[in-house]
A and B are shown apart, each in its own frame.
Chain A
Amino acid sequence: MESTDTYETDHLKATELRLGLPGTVEPQKQSPATASIKSNKRALPECAKDCSSNNNSCASDVKDGDCACAPPTKAQIEGWPPVRSYRKNCFQPKKNEPDVTGMYVKVSMDGAPYLRKIDLKVYKSYPELLKALENRFRFTIGEYSEKECYNGSEYVPTYEDKDSDWMLVGDVPWDMFTSSCKRLRIMKGSEARGLGCV
């Protein structure tokens, strides 16, 4: 196997397009992440034009006399693009991971003949979820407050958590809620008295 490899690489080398003199072999330079490319003097327009169509800036390679255009990762040019360093450190771009499986939970409403199912992953916050429930079941939920729960509403949203306890929706941060919610129950206000809200 080895012999065919060397045969191939030799022939590939011979046909490789370079600007160097035939017969000269440049040592393969590893492009360090932050090489400082100095004196990028004469950007030969022809070479720059050829290279740029590959979407690689070969400007940094030109001075080596070797316009290989091969490696897709060019060495970084010192101070280019002209972006202040404090801006570079700021952030990681958000990764919008698509959720393959939804988080469907049953929703029951006191007095309704059948249950529904909703996908909790669709909603990003409590207000969104509550609005969706209001729309789905055609009722209104009052204003949430820690003391008075859902004040002045006929119905109160509750959920069963991992420990099988019935909890009031809204007390814990959203992500904690979505990870512990097994099912939802929209309870009649009169029944909700037992949950600690007067």
Chain B
Amino acid sequence: MDCKRNRDMKSPPPFPDEVLERILSFITSRKDRSAVSLVSKDWYNAERWTRTSIFIGNCYSVSPQIVIRRFPKIKSVTIKGKPRFSDFNLVPPNWGADIQAWLFAFASAYPFLEELRLKRMTVSDESLEFLSLKFSNFKALSLLSCDGFSTDGLAFIASNSKNLIELDIQENAIDDFSGNWLCCFPENFTSLEILNFANLNSDVNFDALERLVSRCRSLRVLKVNKNIQLGQLQRLLVKAPQLTEIGTGSFLQELNLQQYAELACAFNHFKNLHTLSGLWEVTSVYLPVLYPACTNLTFLNLSTAVLQSDELAKVLGHCPRLQRLWVLDTVGDAGLQSVGSSCPLLEELRVFPADPYSQDIFHGVTESGFLAVSRGCRRLHYVLYFCRQMTNAAVATIVQNCPDFTHFRLCIMNPHQPDYLTDKPMDEAFGAIVKTCTKLQRLAVSGLLTDMTFEYIAKYAKNLETLSVAFAGSSDWGMQCVLDGCPKLRKLEIRDCPFGNAALLSGMERYESMRSLWMSACNLTMNGCRLLAQEMPRLNVEVIKEDESEDCVAEKVYVYRSVAGPRSDAPSFVLTL
């Protein structure tokens, strides 16, 4: 504590450190804290001593040592690792982003660490064991889209983390050996509030789960996997009426009348439920049991439930307060019509493709479904929409109806597909979006697009932070526009576009103010990347070299700013230039 007061006593500070620190401890927003730290040296110091939660958007942008040196009192850490396109298998396995080095450093610097939230990191079972043993006060573990561990690793956490409040294992590519990890929670363990194992595949020991749920009286989030049958779900729900978020298991089990009545009765108790998900294999027989629980629902995730339009319509009739809805495109345009008519408070809609590789345009949703939603849901500001046809006119109308879009992610699934009515490129659609939606932060483009789209983006999308581009553009000019015209751009990910070295190098000055740039299957060469690396020493310019490509071609390029220098753990297929 004393060392921080060893500074020049030339001019006494306006008020004591303790007061400044007390005040700053109320500031939780990351951006505010960054701003605070730039005011003066005193404020920088006060800020670093009072920061308890740290967010690292790119694990390679900084080293554990640098983090520890600056922030001595961290209790909560969030780290993101691999580039986002690794979710779609564009990054080879064993690329990196391993958490172990971080955990080693944290074990000595932050022995009282409470929360760890990881996204796209590699986490081994050994790391999970280390985590469970070295951090006695550990409370919350959230792993999203991670890999490298197995259910054995979860067993360590269950056995050893005596103060665990949250265990959230989502969408990870892990080895699912057995569900026995759930048995490892000791009988006197009662602190759990959040349990999410919805995406694990193996059977868990139901008795252990039931006992766990019974004794954790503060449990408010329970998301089970699809091996939990309806009868079992009913028993869990009866033991945990205080739940506010439920992820069900499978709805396939046949129930007799008694069991059906009991299930309906169980759901009837959940008047304060705000999130519902799971619902695998749900059929119209069982949907009605959910209705009483939907009155206060704000988030309904039906993205793993194969529903038809009439089924969805019936459900939505009971969800007047819905703000977020995720569905499969099996509900069709008719289903989306009912979204428009039943959910006036809707803010977020995600429509996922049930059959992404089918080329049959008669499946799924079209522009008319989206239009219907936009007419009824004027508060809509977040959309993720997978479709097989779209028109410029429809998009223009949609954004007129909903001008407040902050996140617009449109995926016309057939690459290079034009407006199906006019056969023109989809440039005007995205032009309409950026002109009308001044608050736009995130944009994903698709369809047949020329450089015009990027001219529009550069001219109008002044708040844009994240841009995803695939199979689009005509020349380097497109990418150059965007790099020049979007001052707030932080993340740019591009695949299969005709952008070459000239485009890459035009953004040289920009990349230091961005988190990262990804370009794959474009027209980059090794020489172009080397040039960038030479000119900008504070950037890491990495090329992923897989065997099949020619020597001079830079097939996959990942550029990011870093204060930690080049990676020391890069595998052989990652070339740091």
Contacts and interface: CB of A to CB of B under 8 A. Distances in A.
Contacts, number: 144
A49 B417 CA distance: 8
A59 B471 contact: yes
A57 B254 contact: no
Interface in A136-170: 144-146, 170
Interface stretch (A19-27, A80-88, A106-114, A182-190): A80-88
Nearest to A62: B416
Contacts of B308: 94, 96
B526 interface: no
B393 interface: no
B90 interface: yes
A83 B90 contact: no
A88 B423 contact: no
Contacts of A93: 306, 330, 354-355
B89 interface: yes
Contacts of B145: 84
Contact of A55 (B88, B256, B414): B414
A91 B280 contact: yes
A175 interface: yes
A85 B173 contact: yes
A92 to B, nearest CB: 8
A36 to B, nearest CB: 8
B523 interface: yes
Nearest to B496: A40
A81 B474 contact: no
A79 interface: yes
B254 A174 contact: yes
B1 interface: no
Main secondary structure of the interface of A (DSSP, over half): loop
Contact of A39 (B89, B415, B553): B553
B448 A79 contact: no
A79 B352 contact: no
B353 A83 contact: yes
A57 B416 contact: yes
Interface stretch (B109-117, B257-265, B508-516): B257-265
A154 B466 CA distance: 67
A43 B499 CA distance: 11
Interface in B343-388: 352-357, 359, 361, 386
Given A82-B88, A85-B173, A87-B352, A43 B306 contact: no
A174 B523 CA distance: 61
Contact of A171 (B171, B256, B357): B256
A141 to B, nearest CB: 11
A94 B332 CA distance: 14
A83 B145 CA distance: 13
Contacts of B555: 38-39
A79 B357 CA distance: 11
Interface stretch (A5-13, A97-105, A123-131): A123-131
A107 to B, nearest CB: 18
B386 A81 contact: yes
Interface string B247-271: 0000000111110110000000000
A86 B378 CA distance: 32
B551 interface: no
B523 A41 contact: yes
A93 B308 CA distance: 10
A62 B171 CA distance: 35
A1 interface: no
A90 B304 contact: yes
Nearest to B389: A55
Interface in B419-476: 423, 448, 450, 470-471, 474
Given A49-B423, A59-B496, 20 more contacts: A40-B496, A43-B471, A48-B448, A51-B416, A52-B417, A52-B448, A56-B359, A73-B359, A77-B415, A78-B88, A81-B353, A87-B304, A88-B356, A94-B306, A94-B308, A94-B330, A125-B285, A173-B256, A174-B256, A176-B254
Interface of B: 85, 87-90, 145, 171, 173, 199, 254-258, 260-261, 280-281, 283-285, 303-304, 306, 308, 330, 352-357, 359, 361, 386, 411, 413-418, 423, 448, 450, 470-471, 474, 495-496, 498, 521-523, 548-549, 553, 555
Interface of A: 38-43, 45, 48-49, 51-53, 55-57, 59, 72-74, 76-88, 90-94, 96, 124-127, 144-146, 170-176
